[in-house]
Amino acid sequence: MTTLLVALALATTQAPSASEQQTDYSFRTPGHAVYCAMEFDARQVDGFRCITPNDGFWIRIKGLLHPREPKITKGYNSAYKRYRNNAVPVLAFNRRWYTSDAQVVSCWSRSTGLTCKHYDGLSFWLGRYKGYRIYFDAPGFRPSVRPLFRTSHGLYCGINQDTLEPANPGLLCWAPRSGLELAVYHNTAGQGGGSGRREKAKGYRPPGFRMLAIGQTFTWRCRSVTAGFAEKCSTASGTAVFTCENEAARLTCKNLKGEGFWVSRTSFYAF
């Protein structure tokens, strides 16, 4: 989800078209077991794909820069069978590979196989020559936020610190009982609030979150605000970038554009 660094995965068996087949690989693992590469569409990075030449299996994380949309697809393609390219750099065992300084995708090469992870936790593992696993956030991490408040509905809320653009702040709330996460950013690029579930948010009740009483309103203010960015933020002064109203029935949080979410003990809605 764009406004929430949460990976919602969908595994399919759709085979790649000829136009999707990638030959400009970023690295391979010892013994030509796995080849991996970033993939691009006409505008930007679109995905990250790995193949196993011994059987033609492929697995892909698609939608890397749209955290509302990332998903994993997989399948078989005979075009990948018996592929060899000695010019592709080898990622030796116990070494890591990163897409860039932002580490949108990172991979670990081990003698037992290769693990690759999207920055929010959506991951897959490929055995040396056989087997795979898809992790729906299990290898990821707990919510990382600047603590703001918690509510009697069982919610914890803070400013998201796991973001590639700190000048575009995001409000992130989660329910430890279920792992539900909801979020809204200052600039959502028209996509509004977002929701998802994170395994490592379950049972996570860190200290430092003051109780927001029923009937109270929380406001996050920034002194330097444009349509795209909001900086110099605190609860003290500036433009109200995020406003959360805590009612007996539910918590409602919105940004300046009126986008956001509401959540109660039994239901939620992102808008």
Mean pLDDT by 10 residues, the chain (271 residues): 33 39 80 91 71 93 66 89 93 88 79 84 83 67 91 96 85 94 90 83 94 98 95 95 97 97 93 94
pLDDT tens digit sequence for 80-127: 999 999 999 999 998 999 887 556 788 999 988 999 888 766 788 898
Q: Which of the listed residues 136, 160, 188 is the one where a domain comes to its end?
A: 136
Distances (CA, A) of 144 to 24, 198, 219, 234, 242: 35, 12, 20, 17, 18
Beta-bridged to residue 261, according to DSSP, are: 253, 270
Note whether 79 and 56 are within 8 A (CB). yes
Q: Is residue 6 part of a domain?
A: no
Residue 237's domain comprises 145-270
Are both 104 and 54 inside the same structural domain?
Answer: yes
User: Torsion over CA of 173, 177, 179 and 183, rounded to 10 degrees?
Assistant: -10
Sign of CA dihedral 12, 44, 21, 86: negative
Burial class (CB in 10 A: 0-12, 13-18, 19+), 219: middle
Q: How many domains does the chain have?
A: 2
Last residue of a domain, which of 136, 158, 173?
A: 136
Whether 38 maps to a domain, the answer reads yes
* pLDDT value at residue 18: 37
Closest CA to 59 of 50, 68, 67: 50
Tens-digit pLDDT profile for residues 191-215: 899 888 787 888 999 999 999 999 9
- pTM of the predicted model as reported, rounded to 2 decimal places: 0.56
- Identify the residue whose tokens are 């490592």: 200
Count the Cβ atoms, other than its own, within 10 Å of residue 211.
Answer: 11
